[in-house]
Chain A
Amino acid sequence: MERELREDLADRSKEVANALLFAFGTPNEPRWPEILVESEKYDALTDYKSLIRASGPVGRNFDLVEVGLYRKQCAQCHGITGDGFGPTAALLDPYPRDFRRGTFKFKNASYGARPSVEDLVQTITYGVPGTSMPAMANLKRSKHYADDITVLARYVRFLAIRGEVERELMMDTVRDLDENEVLFKLEQRETDPEAFRNNLSRINEVIVRVVDRWMLSEGVEEQHKRSPFSAFVVKHEFAKGDLSSDSEAMTEVLLQESMQRGRELFEGSIAACAQCHGKDGVGDPKWKDYDEWTKDWTIRAGINPAVRAEWKPLKPLGLLKPVAAAPRNLTLQAYRGVPATMALEDNALANSGSSQGKALTEEDATHPKHSKNNSRLAILRAVLNGIEGSPMPAAALAASTSGGLTDEQVMDLVRFVESLSSSAAAVAVPATSGLAVMGTDR
């Protein structure tokens, strides 16, 4: 019985693979599905330039245009199809991202929303510190490689869309189709055009559904209005860039009080940060929760990831040993989230003409994240937007939930987290630092 089911699934996955091939092409010659190319609505999405430049084997064409960028820079970790199963994957911790879920951790977009291309550009440009995800900022130094990052970000989006379609087709077919119903057969185009068209339109529905989710995140403006973090930043004019410059400093006493309130929130039941990060912020050594990518094939499939005997048999299928997604040790004051408001800052710059706002220049492009400004923004974003895919939730806010955190409280939390360190907590925070900004401009 179980074997039959398996064979059935194997047939189905072959059909899905063929459907994908038909719609999206191959890793050497990818294409956008017909249905998207036909519609003007998706023009911004379906550019061929990035597909051509990012896909296929590495090299230059006779017109000197470099192609195969994804294989040159990314595939050894993320895998040729973006399944996070590249050759090096098993040796890295955390594992390289599997794009096929459409889930991304570090983005201005809200929890559950797809990242915008700008979000991806941020991650790719600055990498993820403390992990194997490298920064490509070096590419921007030379005019010959300047637009590689955008091309790669767009290709990541392509791979993610393709992967999501694959996932949903798989789930749909398992759920909706009868055993003898066909999902996709190319031969039918000749033998039974009617059935072929019907099948194709079912597939196209899925494609459009997936792509429309991504379209919601397009346009920086839209995006920024939508997520709690972006709304917060805009509301409090973080967009002006350097947060410490244009506001009066908080007095030492006020700051201490704010941090004290932050500590209470951190340990309290609304924010409940301590539940995961521990009272002292070091994290929890006995942590046993997993990220979404792992849960997909373990907990959700009835397999206990903590029990070796249960997941071991699945390893040959191309799955990596489940590793607990531990809460960060916040006392290290090292944050992985990409500087969040660069796009906003650029906008603000354009608007105000202030040079102070320029937190990120080409020169300091490689490691811009660890400035006070950016650390604070990373904490703020982690709290407000959460870190999707990991257990880290988005905080409940007063604006949407009764009993949620007020803006004031959010800033208390941020100040407290920022002050966490393994040695004396408060020492690291001079009273006049940029921390003060949020509390005073209200």
Chain B
Amino acid sequence: MSDQITTIPQVGKWVHRWAWAVSLTIFPLIWVGGLVTTQDAGMAVPDWPGTYGYNMFAYPVSAWVYGPFDLMVEHGHRLLGSLAGLLVICLCVAAWIDEPRRWVRLLCYGLLAAIVAQGLLGGARVVFDARTLAMIHGCTGPLVFALAASVVTVTSSWWKCDDKVFVARGWFAWMTLGLFLAAVVQLALGAQLRHIQPWASPGFFTSLVHTHLTMALLLLVMVVVVLTVSTTRRYRDLQGIRGLRLVISGLLIVQILLGCGTWVANYALPLAGSTTILSRYTIAIQGYWESWIVTGHQATGSLIIVSALVFALRVWRQTRTTQQFDLSISHQPTP
């Protein structure tokens, strides 16, 4: 990495801003994408890249907004996706003009490629009417989001300043990466559950559910460990992780609650036969709150992935291997 060269924070400011714009578009995009799955609206528009024979952008607004909800959601998802594509192009132009670090420029171009690929994958899901592609599309979406967030992170002026107190990179730094990866695995499991094929066997589904729950427990433990270690004396002074600690713990709690809510909204109340209220409760299909909860569970999953990655990046930015320490010492001008 070119961390040794202290870049001037003023340079590349627009890259940072465009990266924010892309990320802020991707989050609602992920919500709406989740809603597409919740409503099983993936094929609500039978063609792609057109919409019912129209150019996507020329599809009449009235047909879209007043049409069936699934059509509205699916077409909205496509439009929002196009917006993200437009913004990432702007980001790349800004990076090309104004970003001195080659690897960051490459990262931006990589983001462009990822977003285009994600769009194509979504299109292929429609063209081949393939649920499996929808599942992959649903897993890679949050990864694209994470990539965008990492562009935001590495283009921030905090990142660019080199006046940091570096700490030795121990297992803790690896553990933060592990947390990110575990969150990705957990999301992939969730996507499997959400995109289950109707002919999948009950045994398969049941073991998926059990794995998803076990993984949730594992994630909980990992988060507790990582966050606790990050408060120990060695890491206490790391910058930019205090707020993130709160965010991650909050998200995790919300996510566990949403997970329980998702089960209830989709399948059943636990202990339904125990009290009058529980045994009178009826699950509602396509209910308003139900949709928010289930889709929110999926969207919060992607937020956890993103915050775990940003956390890891920030930790890595301030830790160095002993080798790097030696190197930077040997670079010190001799007095």
B-binding residues in A (CB < 8 A): 57-62, 64, 66, 68, 71-73, 75-76, 79-80, 85-93, 126-139, 142, 144-145, 318, 320, 329, 332-334, 366-367, 369-370
Q: Are B281 and A130 in contact (CB under 8 A)?
A: yes
Question: What's the Cα separation between A145 and B273 when bound, in Å?
Answer: 32
Candidates B46, B71, B129, B267; contact of A88 at CB < 8 Å: B267
Question: What's the Cα separation between A88 and B283 when bound, in Å?
Answer: 15
Nearest-neighbour CB distance to chain A for B134, whole angstroms, equals: 11
Asked whether A66 and B68 contact (CB < 8 A) given A91-B267, A130-B281, A332-B273, the answer is: yes
Candidates A62, A89, A91, A136; contact of B52 at CB < 8 Å: A62
Q: Are B284 and A62 in contact (CB under 8 A)?
A: no
Chain B residues within an 8 Å CB radius of A127? 282-284
Chain A residues within an 8 Å CB radius of B182? none
Q: Are A129 and B202 in contact (CB under 8 A)?
A: no
Show 24 residue pairs from A and B whose CB-CB distance is below 8 angstroms, ordered by the A residue.
A59-B129, A61-B46, A62-B46, A64-B68, A66-B44, A66-B68, A72-B40, A73-B285, A79-B199, A85-B202, A87-B200, A87-B201, A91-B267, A127-B282, A128-B282, A134-B283, A136-B285, A138-B286, A139-B285, A139-B286, A142-B69, A329-B273, A334-B276, A370-B280
Q: Are A130 and B279 in contact (CB under 8 A)?
A: yes
Q: Are B283 and A135 in contact (CB under 8 A)?
A: yes
Q: Are A59 and B46 in contact (CB under 8 A)?
A: yes
Nearest-neighbour CB distance to chain B for A339, whole angstroms, equals: 12
Q: Are B43 and A135 in contact (CB under 8 A)?
A: no
Q: Are A144 and B281 in contact (CB under 8 A)?
A: no
Chain A residues within an 8 Å CB radius of B69? 142, 144
Candidates B46, B47, B267, B273; contact of A130 at CB < 8 Å: B273
Chain A residues within an 8 Å CB radius of B201? 85, 87, 318
Query: Restricting to B198-249, which residues have a CB under 8 Å from any CB of A?
Result: 198-206, 209
Question: What's the Cα separation between A136 and B282 when bound, in Å?
Answer: 10
Chain B residues within an 8 Å CB radius of A76? 196, 198
Asked whether A320 and B202 contact (CB < 8 A) given A58-B42, A130-B272, A333-B276, the answer is: yes
Candidates A87, A138, A366; contact of B196 at CB < 8 Å: A87
Nearest-neighbour CB distance to chain A for B19, whole angstroms, equals: 36
Interface check B70, CB cutoff 8 A = yes
CB closest chain-B residue, reference A329: B273
Q: Are A59 and B44 in contact (CB under 8 A)?
A: yes
Interface check B113, CB cutoff 8 A = no
Question: What's the Cα separation between A56 and B52 when bound, in Å?
Answer: 20
Q: Are A134 and B209 in contact (CB under 8 A)?
A: no
Asked whether A366 and B284 contact (CB < 8 A) given A62-B52, A66-B70, A86-B198, the answer is: yes
Interface check B268, CB cutoff 8 A = yes
Q: Are B282 and A138 in contact (CB under 8 A)?
A: no
Interface check B334, CB cutoff 8 A = no
Asked whether A367 and B285 contact (CB < 8 A) given A90-B203, A132-B267, the answer is: no
Chain B residues within an 8 Å CB radius of A333? 276
Chain B residues within an 8 Å CB radius of A92? 267-268
Per CB-CB distance, the 8 closest pairs between chain A and chain B, nearest first, are A59-B43, A87-B205, A75-B198, A144-B68, A90-B202, A130-B279, A334-B279, A134-B283
Interface check B4, CB cutoff 8 A = no
Chain A residues within an 8 Å CB radius of B43? 57-60, 68
Question: What's the Cα separation between A299 and B137 when bound, in Å?
Answer: 47
Asked whether A57 and B202 contact (CB < 8 A) given A134-B282, A144-B68, the answer is: no
Question: What's the Cα separation between A79 and B202 when bound, in Å?
Answer: 10
Interface check B53, CB cutoff 8 A = yes
- Please indicate which of the listed interface residues A134, A142, A370 has the most CB atoms of chain B within 10 Å of its own CB: A134
Question: What's the Cα separation between A145 and B204 when bound, in Å?
Answer: 32
Interface check B21, CB cutoff 8 A = no
Question: What's the Cα separation between A309 and B84 when bound, in Å?
Answer: 58
Asked whether A126 and B198 contact (CB < 8 A) given A58-B42, A333-B276, the answer is: no
User: Main SS of chain B's interface residues?
Assistant: loop
Chain B residues within an 8 Å CB radius of A135? 282-285
Nearest-neighbour CB distance to chain B for A325, whole angstroms, equals: 13
Q: Are A134 and B44 in contact (CB under 8 A)?
A: no
Q: Are B46 and A145 in contact (CB under 8 A)?
A: no
Beyond the given A64-B68, A137-B284, A145-B68, please list 18 additional residue pairs across the A-B interface where CB-CB is below 8 A.
A58-B43, A59-B129, A71-B198, A75-B198, A79-B199, A80-B198, A86-B198, A87-B200, A91-B205, A92-B267, A128-B282, A129-B280, A130-B273, A130-B279, A130-B280, A132-B283, A134-B282, A136-B285
User: For the side of the interface on B, what is the size category?
Assistant: 35 or more
- Please indicate which of the listed interface residues A73, A132, A320 has the most CB atoms of chain B within 10 Å of its own CB: A132
Nearest-neighbour CB distance to chain A for B280, whole angstroms, equals: 4
Interface check B275, CB cutoff 8 A = yes
Question: What's the Cα separation between A130 and B53 when bound, in Å?
Answer: 45
Q: Are A142 and B206 in contact (CB under 8 A)?
A: no
Interface check B107, CB cutoff 8 A = no
Nearest-neighbour CB distance to chain A for B268, whole angstroms, equals: 4
CB closest chain-B residue, reference A331: B276
Nearest-neighbour CB distance to chain B for A93, whole angstroms, equals: 8
Chain A residues within an 8 Å CB radius of B42? 58-59
Q: Are A138 and B284 in contact (CB under 8 A)?
A: yes
Interface check B100, CB cutoff 8 A = no
Asked whether A134 and B284 contact (CB < 8 A) given A60-B71, A62-B53, A90-B203, the answer is: yes
Chain B residues within an 8 Å CB radius of A369? 280, 282
Q: Are A131 and B268 in contact (CB under 8 A)?
A: yes
CB closest chain-B residue, reference A366: B284
Q: Are A138 and B281 in contact (CB under 8 A)?
A: no
Q: Are B278 and A130 in contact (CB under 8 A)?
A: yes
Mark interface residues in B261-278 (1 if CB within 8 Å of A CB, else 0): 000000111001101101
Chain B residues within an 8 Å CB radius of A87? 196-198, 200-202, 204-205
Interface check B45, CB cutoff 8 A = yes
Question: What's the Cα separation between A131 and B286 when bound, in Å?
Answer: 17
Nearest-neighbour CB distance to chain B for A392, whole angstroms, equals: 15
Interface check B287, CB cutoff 8 A = yes
Chain B residues within an 8 Å CB radius of A139? 285-286
Question: What's the Cα separation between A93 and B209 when bound, in Å?
Answer: 16
Question: What's the Cα separation between A128 and B282 when bound, in Å?
Answer: 6
Interface check B67, CB cutoff 8 A = yes
Q: Are A131 and B203 in contact (CB under 8 A)?
A: no
Q: Are A129 and B279 in contact (CB under 8 A)?
A: yes
Question: What's the Cα separation between A68 and B44 when bound, in Å?
Answer: 11
Question: What's the Cα separation between A71 and B204 when bound, in Å?
Answer: 18
Question: What's the Cα separation between A132 and B263 when bound, in Å?
Answer: 10
CB closest chain-A residue, reference B283: A134
Q: Are B202 and A86 in contact (CB under 8 A)?
A: yes
Question: What's the Cα separation between A398 and B36 when bound, in Å?
Answer: 56
Nearest-neighbour CB distance to chain A for B327, whole angstroms, equals: 55
Question: What's the Cα separation between A57 and B195 when bound, in Å?
Answer: 13
Chain A residues within an 8 Å CB radius of B129? 57, 59
